[in-house]
Amino acid sequence: MAKIIPFKAVRPTRDKVSLVASRSYQTYTQAEREARLDYNPFSFLHIVNPGYKYAREITGEERYALVKNRYSEFKEDCVFVQDETPSFYIYKIVDREQQVFHGIVAAASAEDYEKDVIKKHEDTIEYRENIFKAYLKTVGFNAEPVLLTYPDNNTIASIIKTIEKERAEFEFTTTYRDTHYLWKVEDDSIIKTIQQEFEKMKTIYIADGHHRSSSSCLLSQDLKQNNPNHKGSEPYNYFMSFFIPESELRIHEFNRLIKDLNGLSKEEFLIQLDAAFRIENRGKIPYKPSKKHHFSMYLDGDFYSLYLRKTNYTFENSLDALDAQLLYKTVLQPILGINDLRNDNRIMYLNGKKDTVNLKSSVDSGEFAVGFGMVPVTIQEMKQIADDGLKMPPKSTYIEPKLRSGVTIYEF
């Protein structure tokens, strides 16, 4: 039984939302960040990069305190205003390719995360969890929702469709040519109906934001233990999420780029590959796989197709059947010597939204020796792995939609 609650979002004013909204900090190049910081005083990047004001890099607790200060200044200057009534927020994105995403911004339950009502499919790294927990504890807000997905629901879909006929609170287009819309839902009867529909759901799934949800849960546990008057209704018992139906989730693959062949010659490498795959040289024409257990490879100016020899590989569970795991078990670990997918600097990941040409050019540049492509994970695979209590290798999925930071903010 999934529990979601409305909350009083802190939001930019209508005239400034397009200036405030930003992508995740890490997705900008240095030149892009500097341009936005130089010429847009309202960008949310000023909050998450407070050292810009002092022309130096600031880290750790000092940075967290300054983030809180910059956020307070945005509120004092009325760039941000808090809603008076707890609300759900209908959020719609139409991307540059005319894909449409509809969902609900609400607060998800940390207890649901602990009890596995909210299921995970990806491992988290402890030190990253603790860093983000410390950050949240100092700043006291969350500005980027965790992406959660739920089974398609006709009642919720009908409510969203009806509300979207009204004038949106926000409507803005980004420089990426994605158009964002937001509607505020404060009608008690509508809120109750949405909550009742979620209560019927046994499980919902994290699509994107495993570290953010895990850190929020750790913070909830800390604050609960240190609050002698804990009641369970405190804001720290929840974390901001964007709930999207499963049918609208878009999952892309992450391709793999490897810097060297682990001391092997090209011929030696191909011979070792032959034990696990049927290999065909496709020449200069870009090749992209279209089936599970088929891979593309770009090596020394040529594309190759790799088809798994299933007689030599055993599928013992749902994780073994995942192509990212299969590639790790048959190639990356035994042949190329990459054991730690998270921390080995010999491997880089390229999201599958980028053209095959990007993989080719990365190898042709000399920075990488070989590149591998695969087909995207399906929502059914992702859910099965989560249901089985297993975890995907890092960078198994590149999931859309990607929300902007600073459009709705959850304080605790």
pLDDT in tens, 266-311: 999 999 999 999 999 999 999 999 999 999 999 999 999 999 998 8
* 356-384 mean pLDDT: 94
Give the pLDDT score at 209.
93
Give the pLDDT score at 78.
98
354: pLDDT strictly greater than 80: no
In the chain, pLDDT over 70 holds for what percent of residues?
A: 100
- What is the count of structural domains for the chain? 2
**231-271 pLDDT per residue, tens:** 999 999 999 999 999 999 999 999 999 999 999 999 999 99
388 located within any domain = no
224: pLDDT strictly greater than 90: yes
Identify any residues that bridge with 142 across adjacent strands, giving them in sequence order.
Answer: 410
Q: Are residues 271 and 352 in the same domain?
A: yes
Q: Are residues 405 and 368 in the same domain?
A: no
Q: Are residues 226 and 263 in the same domain?
A: no
Q: Are residues 88 and 196 in the same domain?
A: yes
Q: Are residues 122 and 15 in the same domain?
A: yes
386 located within any domain = no
Q: Are residues 16 and 163 in the same domain?
A: yes
Give the pLDDT score at 123.
80
Q: Are residues 226 and 361 in the same domain?
A: no
Q: Are residues 265 and 120 in the same domain?
A: no
* 348-376 mean pLDDT: 91
Q: Are residues 344 and 358 in the same domain?
A: yes
139 located within any domain = yes
Check: CB of residue 151 under 8 Å from CB of residue 245: yes
Task: Give the C-alpha separation, 236 to 384, whole Å.
Answer: 30
- Domain of residue 112 covers 4-249+400-411
Q: Are residues 228 and 264 in the same domain?
A: no
142 located within any domain = yes
* 361-389 mean pLDDT: 96
Q: Are residues 8 and 93 in the same domain?
A: yes
Band of residue 357 on the pLDDT scale cut at 50, 70, 90 = confident
Question: Residue 295 belongs to a domain with what CATH number?
Answer: 3.30.1760
**108-143 pLDDT per residue, tens:** 999 999 999 999 998 887 888 999 999 999 999 999
Whole-prediction pTM value?
0.91
**20-79 pLDDT per residue, tens:** 999 988 888 889 999 999 999 999 999 999 999 888 889 999 999 999 999 999 999 999
